[in-house]
Structures are given as structure tokens and as C-alpha cells.
Structure 1
Amino acid sequence: MFLLEPVGLGQRDNDVYLALLELRRATVAQLAEHVGGSQADVRAALAVLLGAGLVHQLGFAPAVYLLVAPDEALAALIQRRRGDLARMQVRVEELAQRLRSGPPRTGSAVELVEGEDAVIASVTRLQAHARKEVLAVDAPPYLGGQWNPNDFEITQLAGGVEYRFVYSADSLSTPLHVANMRRCVEAGEQARVLPNASMKMVIVDRHTALMPASYQNPDPAVRLLVRESALIDVLVFCFEAMWSRATPVVPGAAPDDVPERAADKPGLSVRDGELLSLLASGMKDRSIARALGVTERTVGRRVTELMAELGAQSRFQAGLLAARKGWI
């Protein structure tokens, strides 16, 4: 557990803090024994904790250390950290303004971005520069071999930037990813699911984009940064085409919600429409369940009921009949 990392403290400081939290009060020797480190390392960590106002020292021979009430000490440290970050943000904006006011760049419309750090920096920078909208297709492969949450999106949504995401079936393969998608939707993201979406991309304000260098053999650590050009228009067109075919994710729809019935489609709920669209697109029950936020058993049971209502002999036929009836 690395509790103190967000407030700028290191692993050693964190270990000593948690040890003291468990021991209540202790000497340097007792802490060194508890954490399995040297007394010199413990003293260095205690000096940092004392400076941060997280620890009290009692006496000198030997000194005994105890924690300041965490709800008071950490709250003050968090507030101080927020102030530092706010000042840093102002400085960053000043530097960015200086860059924008400088001589115009004459570089290529397409730039190769290589390396995980460079890709992460590019994604962050693109979002930070967004003023109106971010369009994205979420599909593997991911940096480091696994998906990571985009917490910066929540901040941008709160600031009025519109986010539209198309999620592939593979991108919703873990409960954690689905939970984050739901969290973003609740924060204002417009999300849709398209099972076979594979054209991974991020487009900001329709003038800058980041995309894989190859869609045939995508390497997550190699991207193309595309600036305002005809290629941006093509990418926006591709995104809108996928968006029009994708199924919307409804915010706030919990597994036990009573679905709203569509007045012109007796017996069909809004959630049924989502389910049938995903079914017709070829998604499996497990992927549909994750996308809709329900259990796989619930999906299987409702598919069986809808097949009976439609008079369908197969899941694929159910999708076709639903489309023919205008249900999806």
C-alpha cells in the first residue's frame, strides 16, 4: 500500500508511516525492526515525516515517535499539494502561451511518436489542449499490455469539454474497465459500444489526432500525431461512421432498474433496445452483460424471452427480426 505517494512522499517514508500507524508509538530501533530496514533509513524517513507535519517526536534519549492525527495532518498536506499543483498549472499555461505566441511551426502534418513515455505525454497533452471536444475509439492493444484509467477525462468533462467514446467489445473485457466507462458516463461522457471497432484513435477539436502507425500490426508504443490536414477529415468521417452504428450506453442504468417502456414498441424497454442492438452486432452474452452493467445470467434470460416474443429460432434471427420491426 503506497498511501503517501499522491502527496509527494517516497516508498520508504510511506513504509515508516504505516509502521508507526500500526505500532502507535515507537523508537527508531523498533521501527527499523518492524520495516526490516536500517536505522539510518528510518531516521531519514522520520525527518521527512516530521517536516511534513505527520509525526511528533517525544524526548531524545531515545526519541519516541508517534503520529499526528491522520485526518488533520494529511488533510493539511493534501491542501498544500493542491496549492502547489494549482501554481504549477498557472506556470504551465504561461509557458504554453509563450510557445503559441512564438513563430509558427512549419513541421510535417504527420509526426511519428515512439516510446511509451512519449505516447503517454502526447495523449495527456492532446487532452489538456482540448477546448470543445474529444472523439475517441477505445480498443486494444494498450500500453504496458493492460488498460489504464483516464482520470484526466473527469477533470476535462467538469470543465465543459465534450467527450464521445466508441468502445470495442475487447475494450470492455474486464469489470474494472466497464466500471471506469460507467464512471465517465455518469460524469458526462457520451459512450457507445461497437463490438468490432478496431480503428483506435483520439481526435481533439477536429484539428489534431493520435492514431496507431499501423492498424494491421498495431504497436501501442508507436503512434502517429496528425495535425490539421485532409487526414483529420478522414479520421473524423470514420469516427462518425462508427458512432452512427454503435449502441448508446445509458447513464445511471443499474442492474435492478425498472426499464422504461417505449410507447411505440409494446413490451420493449430502452435496455432491451440496447441488448438487441448488441446482439445483432455479434457480441457474446458476457460482453453484452459487461457493456450493460448486468449479469450474464440476466442477459441470457432476457435474450430467451425476446426470442420467444419475436418468434426467432436463433439469436442472429432475433436481431434481424427486431431490426425489421423497427425496434433497433
Structure 2
Amino acid sequence: MMSVTDEKIMLKSFDAAQARRVLELGRETLAIEADAIRALHARLGDDDHFVCAVQMLVGCTGRVVVSGMGKSGHIGRKIAATLASTGTPAMFVHPGEAAHGDLGMVTPHDVFIAISNSGESSELLEILPAIKRMGSPVISMTGKPHSRLAKLSEIHLDISVAKEACTLNLAPTTSTTVTLAMGDALAVALLDVRGFREEDFAMSHPGGALGRRLLTHVHDVMRTGEAIPSVAPDTPLAKALLEISQKGMGMTAVVDEERRPVGVFTDGDLRRLIERLHDFSNILIRDVMHAGPRTVHPEQLAVDAVAVMEEFRINQMLVVDADGRLVGALHIHDLTRAKVI
């Protein structure tokens, strides 16, 4: 089935029966967890607690503080990260650390989300009185609606499951999956209520592909000053070619006395010209340039420049200000280096 050359990796060989058993367990795990999410979906159909939780989180003037022990803590970290990246300021606080000073991170303006499948996590129950004295409302997510944690919270979200996917019905598997799904449901509902847009998502993900596409403007990547290849219309072609060679953009802009582009000449134009002419000594750049070059403005998104380049199959563009004066030049390689494309 597969080969491994690394001697450090030892593969156990399965017979046909063992292989079937592995596949059966895999499918059974997915089926159990899928059934649990469907059950959660059904419960949410008439659950005003979920609506109240979203209303409370939208009205939060501080941050959403998520907390949980063990596997619930791992899920809690992900829920906090998802909330934060979709427009709801959030953070994770470990309940054990909270009992030894980190509770100072929580303010009366925050909403506290406590996660515990049993609803009896001693570490959470230990810090809950202090949180309630502080005035922070508590939303609990437990699998036991009658647990102490559920009863002590202002809003309880039921994340109960029929059974864990673990064959021993012990390891948190189905319960953590359902908890994560509930967290995602909250985040998506909040995202929509807040009117969170693609541009907002980009602002919190500046290092990602979407962030680069929606936050990078032409002025961020364009070449300026002496790096812009440009010549006057009456410049001899030979001198214009020197400008192209020195500036390394494979083209030069042709500008009038007020630095407004009147044309462009590229390496491609030169190759096509060579096919027709052999003597360039008496040719001026205005005689062979392309009039009316494609331009963009510095404030435009870099992806807009990419769209124009792709539409007209060009590798360079000129950048002009509001008065039409040349202020920059853009090469497809500049956009590639900026990871806009």
C-alpha cells in the first residue's frame, strides 16, 4: 500500500480484518459526531438561550473572555481566536492561572464564557464567585443543564451529547466537536449582526492572502522618483532604450512638459520594431510609442491594477495622480513580490 524509506519510522502491518476495523472506527467516529451536531442543530431551533447569548455578546463593551480546563480549554482557545478574527474582541484565560492573578485581566465590562462538559470543573467554579462579584455576566457551555456551572451562569448553552466517539466513551471527542461547533455558531451569528465585512476580516488578517489583496494599495508597491523610467516625446529611440535598460522595468513612459503620460514604449514594442526596421538612428520615441497608456491611481487597490494587467495582457502600468501627472510605475513583479498575486 505504501513504502517508507526512513528507518526511524516503523509501520505496523495490518491484516485484512484489522484494516476493516480501522475503517469502521473512522466512519463510526464521524457518524457519531455528525449525529451529535445534528442534534445540536435541532435543539437550537427553539433555543432562546442562544439568541440571548448573541444579544449579550453584541452588547458587550469590553471583551469576551473564554475559559475552560483540559480539552475544553483547547476548544476555548480556538473559540476566542475565531471571535477575535471575526469582529468580536476576545481572549482566553486559563482558569487555573486566573485563580492566581490572571483574573485581573477580566473587567466588569467583559462577558465571561465558561466551558465545561460536566459543568462541575472545580477550577472554573472556584473563580466564578469573583467574576460575578465583579459584575461580569457569565455564559456557560456545558453538557449538563442542571450542573452547578449552568445554574450559576446568566445564560446556559446546552452542548450535551448522547455519547463520546471514543470506544470507551471516556475521551472528549464528540463533546469537544459539539462545543467547537457551538462556538462557531456564536461567531458567525455575531459576525452577521455586526455587519462584519470582507474588508474588516482583512484588517484582522493583514498577513494572509485576503489581507494583502484588500489592504495593499498601488502606492504601497509602486516605484517612485528616479526609479520611474520616463523620457520626453522628442527623445531619440536610442536614448529611450538606454532609459529602459537602466531602470529595469522593460518599458519607459513618454511624458509631456507637465509630466503627463502621452505614451509608453516596452521591450515588446522594441522586438516588433526590429522585425520591421534595422536603422533606429533617426527615430524619435514619439514615432513608435503607444499613445494613451493604461494608468492607475496610487490610492487604488493593487488588485485593481492586477485586473487591468490581466485584461489587457500587459506587465507594466503607469501611476498618475488626480491631475494626471506621472508619480509612479508598477511592474507585475512588484505585485508578485508583495504577494498580491
- State the TM-score, normalized to the length of structure 2: 0.25
- Larger Rg belongs to: 2
Kindly indicate which of the two structures has a greater share of residues assigned to helix. Answer: 1
- State the TM-score, normalized to the length of structure 1: 0.25
